[in-house]
Amino acid sequence: MTDIKQPENLLSQLELLLGKDCVLSGDALRERASSYWDSSPMQGIALLKPHNTEQLSAAMKLCHQFGQTVVTHGGLTGCVEGTTVNNQDVIISLEKMNSIEEIDAVGSTVIVEAGVTLQYLQEAVSEQGLYFPLDLGARGSCTIGGNVATNAGGINVIRYGMMRDQVLGLEVVLADGTIMSSMNRMLKNNAGYDLKQLFIGTEGTLGIVTRVSLKLQQQTRSRNTCLVAVDDFASVTKLLSRLQGDLGAALNAYEVMWGDYFHAVTEPGWHRAPMGRDYAFYVLLEAAGADAEGDGPRFIAAMESAMEAGLVVDAIIPKSESERRALWDIREDFDAIVKPQPTFLYDVSLPIKYMEDYVAAVKQGLDKLWPQSKCYIMGHMGDGNLHLFITPNSAGEDLHGQSDEQVYKPLEKYAGSISAEHGIGTEKKSWLLKNRSIEELDLMKVLKRALDPLNILNRGKIFDV
Ligand SMILES: Cc1cc2nc3c(=O)[nH]c(=O)nc-3n(C[C@H](O)[C@H](O)[C@H](O)COP(=O)(O)OP(=O)(O)OC[C@H]3O[C@@H](n4cnc5c(N)ncnc54)[C@H](O)[C@@H]3O)c2cc1C
């Protein structure tokens, strides 16, 4: 008698369902890299590439019958080891579900499959005079499904909010294969629970996002960018408030780089420095508006007045798109920083007024623990969000754990968050309880058990049940 619960039986049934070329295993699977951050061969029993929601639903019904754990993969750019796979897992990749189904230019909405990359979507809607405001450095690889699952943030949050604020509706395949379609396109819909919220930012632990209905914006008619150098942190915060007053809602990016971050990414062989490399802080800021003629002079006037007020010590305004891109590359391309290994990346948020003290406490702790260490900082400061890159430059046991202590312990005093936008994955699991109450965690587990009683979806991600 055959035991139908054997993984090989599951695999052959999945191959029948999806076709052999859409079920990768063995060498075909191992030749893929584990993620953007980890080039080691991908693990897992098999990787499935369903063509549509119905195929994925049927595959999940089988996995559910077999009690088979699955890990969902988007563009693999996530920063918290949320896509980590072990040798007992099946991977669901959304890479073949990558079409833009409908752009509604009248209602300013778009319907996409979850495997569409962010940049592809941005470009497609831009051809119709529309704008999708979520934007981040991994735009070329990250997927809309991954952006939903992580509730991605990025560089335009001060004006447009996070991914959650762009999502109108979702279609999801649940752990047992049920298709839950909640593809709302309206801005207003209070008919019962807003179920999409269960799947935004829950890192694939409650369902697999297959299609998404998104809100679009009209394209703006002007865009003005400026890189400024600032002497002290108090001026960085004053400049932010001042520009929010002078430019109003037009200000869409306010990205801060601490001086040593800027210095490191503009070392010879990396990016060209467009101004002196030894200022204390650099801010890359951008505003976009509806007045093609008036916005430029208004922007320059705001910058000049900030300079006259002594808040800015140097400034450069790009004269072309390629000059603008070169400035953004300094902010977004941190290869120079992560090259020495190990380097640990953090993503904290806290009230802006405490940031200077917090950073001083972290640096002090690190200097004491590892005098050779480096701590580079930049972030979406307008959103109260900092990224820290810590290179211990030291030997020893559990460097990552020790580094975590240096970053998260001082955060407790300010009731900050250990994850502003990257999520928890497996990397930050042990710190979740220190950051959220037991009651909050218990309720998360109630939801997990209700939606995925066999615990097969992204098992062990965010928390254990
Ligand atoms: C250079 C660089 C810059 C970045 N900048 C930012 C930034 O500014 N802001 C920011 O928020 N993040 C940033 N990130 C992190 C990352 O790009 C985002 O988290 C992104 O949303 C992940 O999308 P992905 O498709 O790569 O997802 P993946 O990495 O493939 O997956 C991430 C998580 O989502 C789950 N998942 C993926 N697809 C689905 C789906 N369809 N259904 C259910 N679950 C799913 C996975 O299981 C995993 O838990 C950056 C990363 C890099 C490499």
Alpha carbons 256 and 158: distance in angstroms, whole number:
13
**What integer is the mean pLDDT of 166-174?**
98
- Indicate whether 254 belongs to any domain: yes
Nearest CA to ligand 1 atom 21: 147
Nearest CA to ligand 1 atom 36: 146
Angle at 325 between CA 322 and CA 329, to 5 degrees: 135
Residues 349 and 324 occupy one common structural domain: no
So what's the pLDDT on residue 6? 66
Residues 82 and 106 occupy one common structural domain: no
| Domain of residue 11, residue span | 7-93
Residues 86 and 106 occupy one common structural domain: no
Average pLDDT, the chain: 96
CATH number at residue 208: 3.30.465.10
Residues 11 and 78 occupy one common structural domain: yes
Residues 255 and 362 occupy one common structural domain: no
- Give the domain-ending residue among 304, 335, 366: 335
So what's the pLDDT on residue 33? 98
Residues 155 and 168 occupy one common structural domain: yes
Specify the ligand 1 atom closest to the Cα of 82: 49
* CA-closest candidate to residue 177, choices 63, 14, 262, 61: 61
Nearest CA to ligand 1 atom 28: 76
List pLDDT tens digits, range 290-307: 999 999 999 999 999 999
Angle at 202 between CA 158 and CA 405, to 5 degrees: 75
Specify the ligand 1 atom closest to the Cα of 425: 49
Domain count, the chain: 4
More confident of the two residues 381 and 240:
240
CB-CB contact of 167 with 95 (8 Å): no
- Indicate whether 209 belongs to any domain: yes
Angle at 146 between CA 144 and CA 149, to 5 degrees: 110
Q: In 53-154, which residue ranges form alpha helices assigned H by DSSP?
A: 53-66, 118-126, 144-150
155 CA to centre of ligand 1 in angstroms:
15
* CA-closest candidate to residue 318, choices 398, 220, 227: 227
Specify the ligand 1 atom closest to the Cα of 172: 42
- Whether the per-residue pLDDT at 98 is higher than 90: the answer is yes
Specify the ligand 1 atom closest to the Cα of 94: 41
Length of the chain: 465
Give the sign of the dihedral formed by CA 396, CA 400, CA 405, CA 411.
positive
Residues 59 and 120 occupy one common structural domain: no
- Give the domain-ending residue among 57, 78, 93: 93
Pocket residue to mutate for ligand 1, from 32, 80, 142, most atoms within 8 A of Cβ: 142
So what's the pLDDT on residue 434? 86
Residues 188 and 174 occupy one common structural domain: yes
Pocket of ligand 1 (CB under 6 A): 36, 71-79, 82-83, 94, 114, 136-138, 142-143, 145-147, 149-150, 152-154, 203-204, 208-209, 421-422, 458, 461
Specify the ligand 1 atom closest to the Cα of 118: 25
- Indicate whether 446 belongs to any domain: no
Alpha carbons 137 and 345: distance in angstroms, whole number:
15
**What integer is the mean pLDDT of 173-185?**
97
- Indicate whether 457 belongs to any domain: no
Pocket residue to mutate for ligand 1, from 72, 97, 254, most atoms within 8 A of Cβ: 72
- Whether the per-residue pLDDT at 35 is higher than 90: the answer is yes
- Whether the per-residue pLDDT at 128 is higher than 70: the answer is yes
Residues 283 and 201 occupy one common structural domain: no
So what's the pLDDT on residue 382? 87
37 CA to centre of ligand 1 in angstroms:
12
CB-CB contact of 11 with 47 (8 Å): no
3-state secondary structure of 24: strand
Residues 393 and 354 occupy one common structural domain: yes
Name residue 99's beta-bridge partners.
Answer: none
74 CA to centre of ligand 1 in angstroms:
7
Residues 211 and 104 occupy one common structural domain: yes
Specify the ligand 1 atom closest to the Cα of 77: 26
- Whether the per-residue pLDDT at 433 is higher than 90: the answer is no
List pLDDT tens digits, range 62-72: 999 999 999 99
Give the sign of the dihedral formed by CA 379, CA 290, CA 140, CA 110.
positive
- Whether the per-residue pLDDT at 1 is higher than 60: the answer is no
- Indicate whether 431 belongs to any domain: no
Nearest CA to ligand 1 atom 16: 78
Residues 201 and 120 occupy one common structural domain: yes
Q: Which two tokens stand for residue 216?
A: 């679009």
Please, which pLDDT band fits residue 218 given cuts at 50, 70 and 90? very high
Nearest CA to ligand 1 atom 8: 154
Q: Which two tokens stand for residue 186?
A: 């309206």
Name, in order, each residue with C-beta under 8 angstroms of 401's C-beta and a sequence gap of 6 or more.
none
452 CA to centre of ligand 1 in angstroms:
22
Alpha carbons 388 and 407: distance in angstroms, whole number:
8
Alpha carbons 205 and 196: distance in angstroms, whole number:
14
So what's the pLDDT on residue 53? 98
Give whole-number Cα distances, 377 to 48, 163, 322, in Å: 38, 24, 25
CATH number at residue 291: 3.30.70.2190
Specify the ligand 1 atom closest to the Cα of 145: 41
**What integer is the mean pLDDT of 115-131?**
97
- Indicate whether 189 belongs to any domain: yes
Specify the ligand 1 atom closest to the Cα of 143: 25
CATH number at residue 388: 3.30.70.2740
- Whether the per-residue pLDDT at 312 is higher than 90: the answer is yes
So what's the pLDDT on residue 20? 96
Give whole-number Cα distances, 378 to 131, 221, 251, 386, in Å: 26, 29, 19, 6
Assign residue 393 a region (left: φ > 0; alpha: ψ between -120 and 50; beta: otherwise).
left
- Give the domain-ending residue among 76, 93, 110: 93
CB-CB contact of 101 with 210 (8 Å): no
- Indicate whether 62 belongs to any domain: yes
147 CA to centre of ligand 1 in angstroms:
5
DSSP per residue over 387-450, as a string? Answer: EEEEE--S--S-HHHHHHHHHHHHHHTTT-BSBSSS--TTTTHHHHHHHS-HHHHHHHHHHHHH
Pocket residue to mutate for ligand 1, from 150, 173, 255, most atoms within 8 A of Cβ: 150
CATH number at residue 28: 3.30.43.10
**What integer is the mean pLDDT of 229-243?**
97
75 CA to centre of ligand 1 in angstroms:
7
64 CA to centre of ligand 1 in angstroms:
25
DSSP state of 89: P
209 CA to centre of ligand 1 in angstroms:
13
Specify the ligand 1 atom closest to the Cα of 458: 47
Q: Which two tokens stand for residue 386?
A: 């900092």
- Indicate whether 430 belongs to any domain: no
Give the sign of the dihedral formed by CA 304, CA 306, CA 308, CA 311.
negative
- Whether the per-residue pLDDT at 361 is higher than 80: the answer is yes
